[in-house]
Amino acid sequence: MNTSFFDVNNGFEKKFSFVHEKNWTLPSEKLLFKEPLWTLESLMFMKKELNDTKSLLNDKGEQWQEHTARINPAKLVINFIRDRIQPEILTQAWCKFYEILSNYRLIPEEAENFKSLHLCEAPGAFISALNCYLCTNHSAIHWKWFANTLNPYYEGINVNDVVCDDRLLFPTIKHWYFGQDDTGDITNPKFSKDLNDFMGEKYFFDLITADGSVNCTENPAEQEETVSELHFAELLVALHNLSPGANFVLKKFTVFECNTICKMYFLNCVFKQVHVFKPFTSKSGNSEVYVICLGYVGIETLNAYLTRVSETYRSMKSKAMFPLEAIPESFMLQLQECASLFVEQQKKTITENIHLYSIPFANYSLELREVQRLCAAEYLKRCHIHRNMIFDKLFPFENQIVSNFHDKNNRNLRTFRFQAIGEVFENLEKSKSMSRQDVILDVDKRMNKCFPLEEKRHLEDEEWCLVPKDIINKMRTKGYSKWLLVGKKISFIQNSKFCNPMLLHLWNRISYDPQVEFRNYLPTACCYWDINSLSSLILENCFPEDFCIISEAQINEASEDDPALNKLKETFKKVFSCNFSSLEGQETDFPKQNRIIYINCTSWIKSLHQEIFIKHCLADILSKVIKFMNLGDSIIICFQSLLTRYTNGLLYMLLSLFEKVIFSLIL
């Protein structure tokens, strides 16, 4: 076994500091995005060598992910920390940022007030780490923070792109800003201005962090280019909102490409110090590094320059931010030294990992375990983490929710995600050529891994829920006027707060297919126990003949055979139908009391994905039905799905109008 791979001290010293020289000044605004993209031969050679090494992993399956996680020298760090302190959310990102805070002076020594902004922050580990660090090392400081991330509640974002874990976000939601479009996407050209309006023109920050990334699994060789636009957006938002003398921490990857080099030079011109650091707790086999920028020159001297960059960079992707000749050779030499340092370390790790993959784990497991223990102890020592640390929590733990991404078997969430999506290069290549039958088999395999049989619903179970009275009373005290959010239109439900996102991902894989016919998946039976229970709940001390059913007039052939309505007709003999959408203008002979309004949304549109298309019609019909109803009336609504905040919001408001509420299942 190559023991140099487990060099403890070297693992904590992956650092590079730029030495600023007098001729490092910003090029004229007139030179911005004027020249074609250029390349440096030495950096392109490094890129090729690194990609050649990374390509050795292309045929590695999901077991490779398990292997690299198992041999990670930092594997025990989280356990060692958890044994001593219990922060709100403890992840690898928490460990990385606490390590950064312990290595660089990001907090002014004598500061009484401190304001921070955290971009692309979910699930909130940087915030939690900063809270712990401030309480321990700057206990008298008054801290205000805000954060941004792709909105985990916005249904139009693919689960591959968004962090669904909202354990910290939900209890601290007032601190988070998702922009006017509600997506949280900072690459939106209007985001920076929206943020300024939200914060107030004179609200500047002492520290901004940007931990954003983009899923590059489909094109791992061009990771730097893939994340370029996001990093530009993070950079500009930060420089528009930092106070003079403030600090900025930016996640980056490789520095081979033209505009990455330009951005690095830009940072060196507008900050007093720039460092590049790979935390020990950042996996050594990837390209991730953090650029630590200290001592911002301030927006006053850069306003016009930043405005020009902001207006230009999106439309000039084929142009270089600066001409090659505008960047001093002394900077280029330092940048190449920096790139070489981190590339060589990454190549060494990948090569070592491949070597260990071919050796039985038992041959080196004891030595590895000891090294992991020594590394975890060294981390605690360097970061001064101990059992006597006292810090205030960001929110009471009783307010922390169990995320919809929580795994009942307590599997690592990354492992759970891999089991559901299989996002490794080999799987993605295979998926492009899968037949319909192959897709079904693959989804079935992943379903059984992620949601074992013992967790699946038993259809004969009594699947109904009576909403407690105190919850209904609480609903009635809500101020609904503040609920309304306006945002980017959703055309495809890819994420949901009301469903495990991995389950939704698997459902979308098999249901969005031209070979799937809606008529083959219409409900053909109902959960009789539930319908009977529902009828009993409505009747209580009354008789069926005292009630009448009022249902929607037949819309299409899909509504001809409604199993739930047919079952209700067996109990309640008085059945009427009408057009709910024009109730207000209709003259009806319906009884005035004890009416049961039956609305079956599932028959409105022939689609397995109705919810996104019926929302306006649903709101319109409900508003008219509610006006039509009298005291003592009941309503039964059949939904195909309850995945969006819009539909659930309507339902939540509706619940406050009734004395009793029951949820039931129709199959």
In our burial notation (b when 16+ CB lie closer than 10 A, e otherwise), range 444-477 reads eebbebbbeeeeeeeeeeebbeeeeeeebeebee
Preceding peptide of 123 cis, ω within 30°: yes
Q: What are 208's strand-pairing partners?
A: 117, 248
Extract the tokens encoding 122.
Answer: 């979910």
Query: Can you tell me the distance from the alpha carbon of 80 to that of 374, in angstroms, rounded to the nearest whole number?
Result: 11
Question: Residue 572: enclosing H or E segment and its boundaries?
Answer: none
Q: Does residue 251 carry a catalytic annotation?
A: yes
Number of other CB atoms surrounding residue 414 within 10 Å? 12
Phi then psi dihedrals of residue 493, to 5 deg:
-80, 105
Q: Which residues contact 160 (CB under 8 A, 6 or more apart)?
A: 215, 421, 423
- Inter-residue contact 220 to 54 (CB < 8 Å): yes
- Inter-residue contact 176 to 204 (CB < 8 Å): no
**Does 143 appear as a known binding residue?**
yes
- In 3-state terms, what secondary structure has residue 101? helix
* Strand ranges, E, within 112-202: 113-119, 142-147
Q: Which residues contact 530 (CB under 8 A, 6 or more apart)?
A: 462, 463, 464, 664, 665, 666
- In 3-state terms, what secondary structure has residue 180? coil
Site of tokens 């003398």: 245
| Continuous H helices in 162-290 | 191-199, 223-226, 228-241, 258-270
3-state helix, strand, coil in the chain (%, to 5): 45, 10, 40
Query: Which among 47, 50, 40 is positioned nearest to 332, based on CA atoms?
Result: 40
Number of other CB atoms surrounding residue 665 within 10 Å? 15
Report which DSSP code applies to 342.
Answer: H
**Does 124 appear as a known binding residue?**
yes
- Inter-residue contact 339 to 46 (CB < 8 Å): yes
**Does 38 appear as a known binding residue?**
no
What's CA 222's distance to the chain center, in Å? 22
Q: Which residues contact 589 (CB under 8 A, 6 or more apart)?
A: none
Residue 9 burial class via C-beta count within 10 angstroms: exposed 0-12, middle 13-18, buried 19 and up: exposed
Site of tokens 């320059």: 305
Query: Which among 294, 150, 266 is positioned nearest to 208, based on CA atoms?
Result: 294
Q: Which residues contact 656 (CB under 8 A, 6 or more apart)?
A: 472, 475, 476, 478
Question: Residue 68: enclosing H or E segment and its boundaries?
Answer: helix 62-71
Extract the tokens encoding 107.
Answer: 């907090």
Query: Can you tell me the distance from the alpha carbon of 284 to that of 346, in angstroms, rounded to the nearest whole number?
Result: 6
Query: Can you tell me the distance from the alpha carbon of 93 to that of 70, in angstroms, rounded to the nearest whole number?
Result: 18
Q: What residue type is 494 in one-letter code?
A: Q
Query: Can you tell me the distance from the alpha carbon of 251 to that of 253, in angstroms, rounded to the nearest whole number?
Result: 7
Q: Which is the catalytic residue, given 54, 75, 251, 263?
A: 251
| Continuous H helices in 89-219 | 92-103, 125-137, 191-199
Site of tokens 């490794």: 424
Query: How does strand 35-36 pair with strand 113-119?
Result: unpaired
User: Annotated binding site for S-adenosyl-L-methionine: which residue ranges?
Assistant: 124, 143, 211
Active site amino acids: 251
